[in-house]
Amino acid sequence: QAVVTQPASLSASPGASASLTCTLRSGINVGNYRIYWYQQKPGSPPQYLLRYKSDSDKQQGSGVPSRFSGSKDASANAGILLISGLQSEDEADYYCMIWLSSAGVFGGGTRLTVL
Amino acid sequence: EVQVVESGGGLVQPGGSLRLSCAASGFTFSSFWMSWVRQAPGKGLEWVANIKQDGSEKYYVDSVKGRFTISRDNAKNSLYLQMNSLRAEDTAVYYCARGQQVDYWGQGTLVTVSS
């Protein structure tokens, strides 16, 4: 079982909200970790969006709109990236990452389609 | 403006070696952990290695341990990745990225391992 799992794809309509999940393997408690989120568009390097551990430990990336936000679902052992007011420009691949014993671990990424 | 610029990629035969460089500017390089992250063609992100501010701690993904060495020269604001015993599966775009947040990425440098 992978350490970090993301759904391969997600579709949503313009103006709607999209909730992207980042599920940690059983035994790795999401409550103990900062979840980092990145957006990557075709032909470009990833861009840092935000990190989220709790409402008191979170950070928005420089210039990242507030309609991108982070949260957690403890019952699902998952981090969540919420994108509200979807725009066509939000169509991209999204990756989450955690630091596990000083080593970085990325999820496999979610391709978000806005249609 | 924060910038990281990778160089040194190219075509190399299996078993060969290559040294990647990353030139950093616009921030106090010696104050940040630094990472290498790679992305195979059409695939997701994979964290490769990171190094502490003073070079005293280094961590690697299992698949490159014993073959790759990360290093830095704070006087030159530069990060390096020495890659030995290269394999076809090391073919990827290699990104240099700043900090524990991995918040600034370069454009990447392509490494192709093929005979």
pLDDT digits (tens, 9 = 90+) for B57-100: 999 999 999 999 999 999 999 999 999 999 999 999 999 999 98
Average pLDDT value for residue range B21-35: 98
Average pLDDT value for residue range A102-113: 97
pLDDT of residue A53: 98
Please check whether residue A47 touches B, CB under 8 A. Answer: yes
pLDDT of residue A67: 97
Which chain A residues touch B50 with a CB distance below 8 Å? 102-104
The phi-psi region of residue A53 (left if phi > 0; otherwise alpha if psi is between -120 and 50; otherwise beta) is alpha
Q: Do B102 and A45 touch (CB under 8 A)?
A: no
Please check whether residue B80 touches A, CB under 8 A. Answer: no
Q: Rounded to whole angstroms, how far apart are CA atoms B59 and B53? A: 13
Q: Do B100 and A38 touch (CB under 8 A)?
A: no
Residues A49/A41, Cβ–Cβ less than 8 Å: no
In sequence order, which residues have a C-beta less than 8 Å from that of residue A83 and are 6 or more positions away? Answer: A17, A18, A20, A67, A68, A90, A112
Please check whether residue A41 touches B, CB under 8 A. Answer: no
Facing A104 at nearest CB: one of B47, B103, B106: B47
The values of phi and psi at residue A82, to 5°, are -105, 125
A4-5/A47-54 β-pairing: unpaired
Q: How confident is the model at residue A89 (pLDDT cuts 50, 70, 90)?
A: very high
Residue with tokens 């063609």: B41
Please check whether residue B34 touches A, CB under 8 A. Answer: no
Q: How confident is the model at residue A42 (pLDDT cuts 50, 70, 90)?
A: very high
Percent of chain B predicted with pLDDT > 90: 98
- Measured from the Cβ of residue B67, the count of other Cβ atoms closer than 10 Å reads 15
In sequence order, which residues have a C-beta less than 8 Å from that of residue B51 and are 6 or more positions away? Answer: B33, B34, B35, B57, B58, B70, B71, B72, B79
Cα A84 from chain centroid? 13
